[in-house]
Chain A
Amino acid sequence: MKVRFVGLIVLVLTVLVIAPVAAHHGTASFDTSKDLTLKGTVTEWIWANPHCFLKFDAMDDTGTVRNWAVEVSNPTDMTKRGWARSSFKVGDMVTVNLQPVKNGAPIGRLRTVALPDGSSLTAMGPPPAAPGAVAP
């Protein structure tokens, strides 16, 4: 019974964590077990529905530069997380932690990104508290 209860908790937490980026589609194409961190240069930041996505050039282990496209949720959800149309500009050096697709293409879902000023933005998990938020 305890195992079943713990399983239920894990399931609920998983749904809560995934839900913000999976509102309109699931995770079938993504390798949810993989965790990839890449340093790269922003080439484009698309602030649009149904999902915003960040494109950046990053070098892989073989020395090949590939242009990645990593999605986050829609502008509405990302606004709640402190993201904005102005979060990135072309040429920004970023460090992106992502979940890649299964087919090996340079596509993925962004988990967190470190910005040039040392701050970071998150795309999964509970949204951070709003500035000045006080517990009720």
Chain B
Amino acid sequence: MRRLAVVCIALLAVPAGVLAQEWNSAGLPDRVINAPKTNAAAAPTRDISGIWDAGGIGIAGPGHESPPWTEWGKEKAAGYKPGNGPRAVYENDINDPLSTVCDPTGFPRQVLYETRPFQIVQTSNQVLILYMFERRWRIIWTDGRALPKDPDPRWYGYSVGHWEDDTTFVVNTIGTDERSWLDNAGNPHSADLKVEERYHRVNHDLMELTVTLDDPKAYTRPWTPRNKMPLTLAPANFDMMEMICSPTEVMEFRKNINDRTNNK
């Protein structure tokens, strides 16, 4: 009994963070996401590394309200049958390449939809972003190289980053693959899309993400679907769940649910 008491006292003395070494975390609790962070320590210099979580706001299930499409954008969007937003169709008519056949999320959809927890790693010449959603990653070059001229499209494009000041990291991306959608509302983009991401670390615990899209082929003006989206720093021992679109699982879901919801 005495030994048990000693063990209990020792356990109580261990910092809570050590006890909280759990596997498979779905995300930070809402109370942590929503807690004010005004009393946090100052932001470190030129450091956005760590695991960040936007909470529910990162999911953006219904999609984003865009400026008007161009004629090209209208034609492209007409072929997209989204499952959400103002143009939502019946479930078994959806042709979203991500949710129906598990095409890659692509960029910038990766930061506009299901922006679940992600980890930023900084090396001497790159910033790596490891996303929980789809278990994808991006490489952002910080070695001073220029963006490529006339690149072959890639699902995640070509990204370079620089520090605008000691707490703001700016990423510019081109060369994305226009087969990916922007969001669940079926907003399209062209291969000419230019994306700017601004990661502004407000203090130690809080970062804001702003994403601006400039795609004159598809939209009548640039727009900012993410405007200072708050991100909360997760503990360093946060182990992310997997959240992957598996074609096997999607087929099972369609067979049991989607394909039986036909309303025609």
Give residues in A with beta carbon < 8 Å to B.
Answer: 15, 19, 22-30, 46, 48-51, 53, 55, 69, 71, 74-77, 79-80, 101-103, 105, 107, 126-127, 129-130, 133-136
Contact = CB atoms under 8 A, between A and B. Distances in A.
A26 B253 contact: no
Nearest to A130: B29
B3 interface: no
A28 B264 CA distance: 12
A48 B246 contact: yes
B26 A76 contact: yes
A28 B249 contact: no
Contacts of A77: 26
A102 B92 CA distance: 13
Interface string B225-264: 0000000000000000101111001101100110011110
A48 to B, nearest CB: 4
Contact of B245 (A30, A50, A76, A135): A50
What is the interface residue range for chain B against chain A?
35 or more
A15 B60 CA distance: 11
A75 B241 contact: yes
A76 B246 CA distance: 15
A67 to B, nearest CB: 10
Nearest to B243: A76
B27 A80 contact: yes
Interface stretch (B6-14, B83-91, B172-180): B83-91
Interface in B23-80: 24, 26-27, 29-32, 34-36, 56, 59, 61-62
A69 B252 CA distance: 12
B258 to A, nearest CB: 8
Interface in B160-208: 184
15 contacts: A19-B59, A23-B114, A24-B96, A24-B184, A26-B88, A29-B92, A48-B253, A49-B245, A50-B99, A75-B243, A76-B241, A107-B257, A126-B30, A130-B29, A136-B35
A113 to B, nearest CB: 17
Contacts of A136: 31-32, 34-36
A74 B243 contact: yes
A46 B91 CA distance: 19
B94 interface: yes
Contacts of B261: 29-30, 101, 103, 105, 107
Contacts of A79: 24, 26, 241
A135 B36 CA distance: 12
B31 A103 contact: no
Contacts of B244: 49
B59 A25 contact: no
Nearest to B244: A49
Contacts of A50: 99, 245, 249-250, 253
A53 B253 contact: yes
A50 B253 CA distance: 8
